Structure 1
Amino acid sequence: MKDINSQENQESLSNDMQHTLDRRDFFRKSAALSATALAGTSIFAGTKALADDPAIINDVPWGIKFGDPVTKNRYGMPSEYEHNNIRRNTKLLSSGNWYASIAMCPIHESEGIITPNGLFFSRAHGGVAHVDPNEFRLMIHGLVEKPLVLTLDQLKRYPSVSRIHFIECPANGGPEWRGPQFNSIQFAKGMMSCAQWTGVYIKTILEDLGLKPEAQWMLAEGSDNSEMGRTVPIDKVLDDAMIVWGQNGEALRPEQGYPVRLLLPGWEGNMCVKWLKRLEFSSEPFYCKEETAKYTALKPSGKAVQHFYANEVNSVITSPCPEKPWTDLKVGDLVEIEGLAWSGYGTITGVDITFDGCKNWTPAKLKGLVLPKAWTRFSFMYRYEGKPLVIGSRAMDDAGRMQPTIAQEVAYMGVESVYHRNSIATWEVTANGEVNNVQIRS
């Protein structure tokens, strides 16, 4: 047993106390210098550096003990403090049938343009299928010279590519159509996500099999209990349609169609068939009842739009939003307004921001990667004034399309369909910084 009164231990205690005093003195001096320096900066000009902040001066609890072994979790998990960053669902979007439902992506928590696999939005028609990869087979037949059946290993022998693309449900924002339903960006706009996909272009496989000239359509069919089928025109198939098995550097998750799914970059998410089992090529379309009825929009003219295919140019401000208000800001604070823009027709070329409900517009800055048929992040630095605002964004793409107002969209499409609603979304920012979902219809 050590003698705490021994000269050796007295010197050790004295050194520890001196270390603490030196530490406090250092941070007091640093705080004084920081306060002087901050006075000339923009973002933290009103911030006070606390010389005696316990979180700085004292040893932090996690810094004086061993952490978890590096192999505690064989698959890494988020920090326990990020427990709110999760997918959510609601009976309003599923009628209580959780087998044919959707899990909404928390896009307001997204960083950059890649959605983690555990947060990627998920839609199912008969629950999540769990496919044994050893029993997986993909049949390719119809108007091809060499029809065949592939195992997963055989499919992966084709040369692979990796591409970043978003997937969006055509009903994203649809529940909001006749008026705000959710004071939440996650429920209003969370039927979309963006990822890096790895797989093979279907055109690469067809170069091997030989596509007959009369082939004009492809039927993609899933192996889950709904056996969902979608019809794809051959032009899209020969452009950028993919069969993918990888997502963000790992195998697809079951809810994303493991072991393989169809990916049609920029097109309706419902067409990107999961748990893929069959591709059939034909000279005639294979329309199923759901395609011809559910995904048809009646226009005011009495004519119906049967095929939307590509998701229109769109955008939304993700910060601030109802989940991320400005209630902690003080007048004079500089804050970054951020959001996401996307287009199924190509690449985002610009985004404007309004502060007065679509009366006036100011250009925002595109930041990070700007890729075709992928999320694009935009940003604007704003000096908070503590006054009411109605903020929103409108995006433009290289196909020459601009996001419409609600009034413009109603004039063209009417109000009968919840699909492909890409009009400008707006948030009300109150004088105390609260954020609410509102609609500007003028």
Structure 2
Amino acid sequence: MRLMRLGAEPTRVGADIRAAISAWGAGCSVLGGVTAFGCRPPGSPRPLDAVIVLPRGVIVVLGIDLPQPALRVDAPLQTPWTIDGWPMVRTEGAVNPGLEGLESAAALARSLQSRGLEPLPVAAIVVVGPYAGQVIQPTTDLHRGVRVVSPSTTTILAAARELATYEFPCPVEPALRLVQVLDETCELSLADLAEEGFPESAATDLATADTVLLPKYTEQSAMAAPLWRLPPRIKLIAAVAALLLICGVVGMWLTLGRPTTGPAPQPAPTQRIDGVEFTQMVAARDASCARHSFGDVQRWFQQQPCRSLTRAVFDTQVSGRPAAVSIAIVEVPDQQAASELRELADAAGTGGVTDLIAEGKGWPGGPDGFDNSAQAVQRTGNQVRIVQTVWRHRSSAPDDVGLRALAEHGLRLTPQS
């Protein structure tokens, strides 16, 4: 683990966090990666005690100072925390530190995605100190990318290993650009990152492929050679080909005159993001955005027509609860127009792009609509992505933590036609 100290710790427990992570040592024998202490990434709502950049994930670390050591901390995401049975009162910030950690992780993820960096998932660790004997998190909250732990080497290490599990490791060059977002004056080299476990190339290692080399035969040589002179493998291939030909003739004879059936229906396309599976149910592409929008957003499109509009609705589950995700991808002529659209679409009460369910393109058992949905908006170049998420068959709310996290995942979905 390489360490970079960019500023003072914003909390008292930050010194314990730095000592715990420093104990992992350099190199990738324990965990690897790079940690920046005392930094505030672009877009972050607050200074962070640390940001851990690992080959398979990025983790923001927030320190929370308790008034005194605690025997038990109950740390749900939906409601205020309790410390030894007493409610944890906060005069500012989110309803609890766990939600604040989730917001910090989402802000960093948006910042990295807007820069076109490697799409590593961003999770959060909230460290409570000076001491917490037992930390209780609801099981459903453990799937939302937040861990609440006490400030020790083993607890922070275990949490980091649980959260950094992306299926593809980040290569050294994208990793260096990611670290430079945290520290513009970063002097780490690609070799330094390779020593910390980042692969030097994202290419497939063909040396591990299971290959068989066959001798090359031309059509003339194969036809001219009698069967007894062919190598054993070619004899086997010829025998199998003959058997398949016979089976084909017999099959045609048996099915002659029977009514033919159409091709089997293709399964719905699915995508997997950070362990969550999304099944695409409906999709549509249009050249006009004004006809498929409303409110101030529609009036904006009437003055500045878009180039294309791609929409889709996905079915998914979060901790066993069925949910739906609507995504709209708008392409406009230039980045300036995209920035204006993003700000307009992200503001409350300005309208938006009509989802496909509202246009009558739902499916049996699907959502009734996207009222009271949580939303995430992102601009990349001259494209703007607008994602809405709702629970199916139960009430939803724009500030629902689970739906907000799901919307952040939805920004990485790619509709398929």
Compute the TM-score of the two structures, normalised by the length of structure 1: 0.22
Specify which structure has the bigger relative contact order, considering alpha-carbon pairs within 8 angstroms and separated by 6 or more residues.
Answer: 1
Compute the TM-score of the two structures, normalised by the length of structure 2: 0.22
More helix by share: 2
